[in-house]
Amino acid sequence: MPFTPAADTGAMTQSRPLRAALICELALDGVKKVVANDHARRSFTASTHGRVLALAGADLAVMGRWPLPAEAPGGHATLADHGLALVAGSDHLALIEADGRSRWSFAHAP
């Protein structure tokens, strides 16, 4: 079914409505944010109480866990097959290993 630009907004529209289906469900305590890691929506990054999780597969299995510093309230991303998470703080970015060690960091203006 092709998408076409909407006349006024430039947004993409579809000629027929899509049916949504629940594929998988996962209960996590204290989830603050979940974002897709790829355009196919096959893997996700979830930030919860004090940790970042990499989720993947039809069952949303936890593929990796990283400690989440309290001073890192921003969005995060994971690369579970390499054991890495990119953690965004209010004034820095950090690439962290599964044990919480920083492999790389970058300071920026808040």
The domains of the chain, with CATH numbers, are: 28-107 (2.40.10.360)
Residue 5 has pLDDT above 70, yes or no: no
Residues 7-43: tens digit of each pLDDT: 555 566 667 777 877 777 778 777 778 888 877 788 8
Residues 89-109: tens digit of each pLDDT: 888 888 989 888 889 989 888
What would the mean pLDDT of 73-79 be, rounded to a whole number?
81
3-state secondary structure labels for all residues of 8-75: CCCCEEECCCCCCCCCCCCCCCCCCEEEECCCCCCEEEEEECCEEEEEECCCCEEEEEEECCCCCCCC
